[in-house]
Structure 1
Amino acid sequence: MKYSQFNSIVYIDERYYLYNSFNQKFLVIDPILRDLLEASKSENIENLYEVHPTFYDYLVAEEFIISREIDEVEKVKQISKSVDENQSSFLLTINPTMNCNFKCWYCYETHVKTSKFSQSMIDKVGLFIEKTTTNPAMKYFQLAFFGGEPLLYFKKDVVPVIEKLQDECVKNSVDYSVSFTTNGYLIDDYFIDFFNSRKITPSFQITLDGYKEKHDEVRFVNAKKGSYDEIVKNIKRLINNSFFVRLRVNYTSENIADTYKISEEFQDIPADIKKKYLLMDFHRVWQDSQNDNINEVVDENTDKIKENGILVSHMTPDNVRNSCYADKRNSAVINYNGDLFKCTARDFTTAKRAGYINESGDLIWEDDYLERRMNTKFKNKPCLSCRLLPICNGGCSQHAMEAEESQTEYCVYYGDDRIKDDVVISKIKGIVEALVLDEV
């Protein structure tokens, strides 16, 4: 028998926890058992049986101690492959434009004012949807809109694609969903009425740049008018129509302090509606200095938001069983001009495209791009010996590809065990919180 590579022991609120990142199980252990476990694993884990057979047998039953014959890394690889190679669903992300009605200082994208879907592109996408939904293996088609601001030309460029999706999915008995990543400013009556009339329930990710004053400094209509109030009003309209909204707060060291006040804007929304249709999370602006320690401030704001009846996502990694959309074979990003990409977190320039959609609606991946991406995982040596492999897996395939191309080894946690412990602690807290919510 052997001690699982994927075990961690962490200290939370004056108690020790043993956690396994493969099976997502944890247990509280007292200091004496912790010391016994640490001593045994450094020598021979089977010695623990001689000292405390009941504890040993429990750890075996819960797979914290496993057979020496088990190749744990291979088990992770098998799960990863089964998820990423799943043929029963497809996620198509469309950038109908790279133009935007705002110009946020941190945005990595290049705005192209003249960019928009042509009728030819709408037709090509329609052909792709037809071919994909007639595949007998296809059970679920996810259509996502990104950009740019995807609502800029909603009626002309987005509506026809959604109508085509619904018609083809209904015809072929394929489940489907529609989602938007949007700044939320352009949502209007026509937008909501369209979905209600088609009996489609879209979901949204909408961002705010802090509470009102800080947000309006970043995202404004003109020198005298911000956008905060309009976006909050539109979020309320969405959730009151039973449309799910993930409200992401883009935070920096400058705007984090009073972000909890955003949750106070929704005090007039019934508690059951907020709980079901609104989720908040925090995302640090990548250009902001990461050398400070504002996690406690984030936690304080999180606690206050929860007190106001809004759920907050823990955003802990789950990169094997719930891998990034770009890791999956059946996913693609189509830019307004027909260029193909996998990842939405990189520049959409033709020079960096991975392929294109042709006149027949086929996705053409250039230079063997798709196969190279699908085979890039599990090549980073530090990952293969890491206790967090089943949940981290070295980040996403974008990280893995870039590291492979530069021939560098890496760790998304910089090899820092303290950061890894923080991830484990967040995982445990998330599991506990989910159990509590299930009981409510």
Structure 2
Amino acid sequence: MKESRYNVWVDNGPFHYVYNGLSGTTAVVPATQRELITAFLAGDDPAGLDAAVLHSLVVGRMVITDETDEVEVLQERYRRTRRNSDAFHLTIVTSLGCNFDCPYCFEAKHPSLMDEAVQDRLLRVVETRLASVRRLSVLWYGGEPLIGLAGLLRMSDAFRTRTEAAGADYSASILTNGYLLTAEVAEQLSAHGVRSAQVTVDGPAETHDRRRALTSGRGSFATILANVVAVADILAVSVRVNLDADNVGDYGRLLEVLADAGLAGRVTIHPGQIVAADVDPAAPSASYHAGCLGRSEFAAVERDFFRAAASFGFSVPGLPSPVGAPCTAVRDDELVVGSRGELYKCPETVGNPAEVIGNLLTWPRAGDRLLRWLTFEPFDDEECRSCRALPVCMGGCAHHAMNSGLRDSRCSTFRWRYDEQVSALVSRRDR
């Protein structure tokens, strides 16, 4: 027997805690047993070793057989989940137009709406896939997807009708800037099967309005805050706070504003890292260099953000769970559909003509652009193979990994914070 390479130990007085990334479980080990277990794994048979404690470590995969190759286990998990034939996931861009003018946006916007001809082609693709899958899930995306609300509702109805007829499940969520997300719109979305929404707020009013203004130049914070308060009990709302050096000192005041508005316990909240992506030279992000944080810097900011959020009564995430193929970009049965019917594999490449892998008229057709995504594996990267965070990250963002200027931001923050995150869990348990 041997110890897993993906164990994270935290010593806490009379008990030691060990988290295993491969299983996603945490075990408690009396301090008196720690050295005995180490001796057992070294080949000894120490007196006093508690068989029940050892059994719990075997069940939690903290202790494995000598023959087990954990990287091979992860490779098999990655490949199995990459080719999940039970589910079909679509990210659908209803409009690549937007009512905001954010300086760090990675999309080159144009005022397009998905017309009915493209919608009908998409419905035919869904009908074909529903003959062999049990679940259809949709992320409504943009631009600003609520600009294309009419098409969104029309397609939602069509998806629900077809999944019901096929005996399949349907789920949907939306990523929106929140300006058009009134209570009336939220009720419409919910009635049409959209049950969750992510809304971005970059700070208190003066900070947010400087960074996320309308195309007219007017601020958007007051309207978004009123909307989030109004819809928090209609949809499951997640608030994302995009952070860089420009606004990292302001999130505490934002948390206070949100808590004073009665949103603690009603919405979830998390920080997002801004990356100056220059893959598409026509996108605003190509020239945005306002102190973007490196991934290790962002990991420390994320830690402090969640500590502050907890102090205001917001829920904070626990330890990461193991993942298989981590995102749409590297999974076979997932597509990003642009407003003009163009197809992508990664949402971050929407609007970039160089990243188009095909169109609805000819999909599926294997080609170099598609194979680039579907042959990507983190196990070809020695840094990934040897990383403690591999089971909960699986290489992270493939789009960033394949672009040299973005590689720093490809990883899960668990890579830099696994000791801190496990220690934080232990501290919460012992309160």
Query: How high is the TM-score relative to the length of structure 1?
Result: 0.80
Counterparts of 1:342 and 1:202, CA distance in 2: 24
Cα gap change, 1:436 to 1:109, in 2 (>3 Å): farther
Deviation at 1:150, TM superposition (A): 0.9
Give the one of 129, 138, 141 matched to 2:133: 138
Give 1:280's aligned residue: 269
Check if 1:324 corresponds to 2:333: no
The answer to whether the 8 Å contact 1:232/1:265 transfers is no
Counterparts of 2:196 and 2:231, CA distance in 1: 9
Give the one of 137, 153, 157 matched to 1:163: 157
Give 2:358's aligned residue: 355
Give 1:310's aligned residue: 314
Give 2:280's aligned residue: none
Check if 1:345 corresponds to 2:325: no
State how many pairs are aligned.
Answer: 412
Counterparts of 2:351 and 2:13, CA distance in 1: 46
Counterparts of 2:239 and 2:225, CA distance in 1: 10
Give 2:41's aligned residue: 45
Cα gap change, 1:411 to 1:31, in 2 (>3 Å): farther
Cα gap change, 1:402 to 1:15, in 2 (>3 Å): farther
Give 2:288's aligned residue: none
- 1:399-425 superposed Cα distances (whole Å, 9 cap, x missing partner): 55558xx9xx999569xxx97351353
Counterparts of 1:179 and 1:428, CA distance in 2: 33
Q: Could you list the runs of 5+ residues in structure 2 that have no partner in the other structure?
A: 277-290
Give 1:83's aligned residue: 81
Query: How high is the TM-score relative to the length of structure 2?
Result: 0.81
Tell which deviates more after alignment, 84-93 or 317-326.
317-326
| Residue identity in the other structure for 2:237 | V
- 1:132-164 superposed Cα distances (whole Å, 9 cap, x missing partner): 22x1x4221111111111111312x32221121
Instruction: Show the 5 A alignment for 1:154-233.
Output: 154-155=149-150, 157-188=151-182, 190-198=184-192, 200-221=193-214, 225-233=218-226
- 1:268-298 superposed Cα distances (whole Å, 9 cap, x missing partner): 7778xx53x5110011222434369576665
- 1:295-319 superposed Cα distances (whole Å, 9 cap, x missing partner): 66654443343233322346x6656
Give the one of 126, 143, 146 matched to 1:148: 143
Deviation at 1:258, TM superposition (A): 3.6
Secondary structure at the residue paired with 2:98? Answer: coil
Counterparts of 1:312 and 1:91, CA distance in 2: 27
Cα gap change, 1:212 to 1:174, in 2 (>3 Å): same
Check if 1:116 corresponds to 2:120: no
Deviation at 1:212, TM superposition (A): 1.5
The answer to whether the 8 Å contact 1:5/1:385 transfers is no
Cα gap change, 1:268 to 1:369, in 2 (>3 Å): same
Cα gap change, 1:196 to 1:91, in 2 (>3 Å): closer
Deviation at 1:26, TM superposition (A): 3.3
Instruction: Show the 5 A alignment for 1:88-103.
Output: 88-103=86-101
Cα gap change, 1:332 to 1:424, in 2 (>3 Å): farther
Cα gap change, 1:368 to 1:225, in 2 (>3 Å): closer
Secondary structure at the residue paired with 2:188? Answer: helix
The answer to whether the 8 Å contact 1:383/1:411 transfers is no
Give 2:394's aligned residue: 393
Give 1:425's aligned residue: 420
| Residue identity in the other structure for 1:69 | E
The answer to whether the 8 Å contact 2:37/2:54 transfers is no
Check if 1:249 corresponds to 2:241: yes
Secondary structure at the residue paired with 1:152? Answer: helix
Cα gap change, 1:436 to 1:338, in 2 (>3 Å): farther
Deviation at 1:253, TM superposition (A): 2.6
Counterparts of 2:215 and 2:368, CA distance in 1: 46
Cα gap change, 1:212 to 1:436, in 2 (>3 Å): farther
Counterparts of 1:123 and 1:432, CA distance in 2: 53
